[in-house]
Amino acid sequence: MKDNLIKPTKHSIIYNDLYLYACLAKYPITKGHTIVVWKKIVKDLNLLNKKEYDYLMNKVDEVRKALLKTLKIKKIYLMYLDEVNHVHWHLVPRYNEKGFNIFNHTPKKNIDFSLVNKIQKNLVLKI
């Protein structure tokens, strides 16, 4: 498994609990690109039980809403990619672009984590 999924930099962590964490991507496609990672090694989304799946998706939605509010945008792409055999979601903010144009961006290493505190302030957690 890729090391960047297991060990995010501590400055990139937006949310962390017993089951999952959310962090800014190390190599974002767009500003605010966030990854929500299930901590337990599970190779595919369909292997989560209903309770785990619902928990994960509620957290993805909470992080998505915080990103929308923080970045003042209208759209976040949710991408489930299983190329590393570890359940995780990519939340990719869409700015004023159409369709798949954001995927033409060349990711660059993220060195600015100033968004983390702003996103955390807008994160409304359901209990």
Q: What is the DSSP string of 14-82?
A: EEE-SSEEEEE-SS-SSTT-EEEEESS--SSGGGS-HHHHHHHHHHHHHHHHHHHHHHT-SEEEEEE--
- Spans of all domains in the chain: 3-121
pTM over 0.95: no
Q: Give 6-27 pLDDT, tens digit per residue.
A: 578 899 999 999 999 999 999 9
CATH for the 3-121 domain, from 3.40.50.2300, 3.40.50.1970, 3.90.1300.10, 3.30.428.10: 3.30.428.10
> Residue 75: pLDDT band by 50, 70, 90 thresholds?
very high
Instruction: Return the pLDDT at 6.
Output: 54
Say if CB 60 and CB 126 are below 8 A apart.
no
> Residue 124: pLDDT band by 50, 70, 90 thresholds?
confident
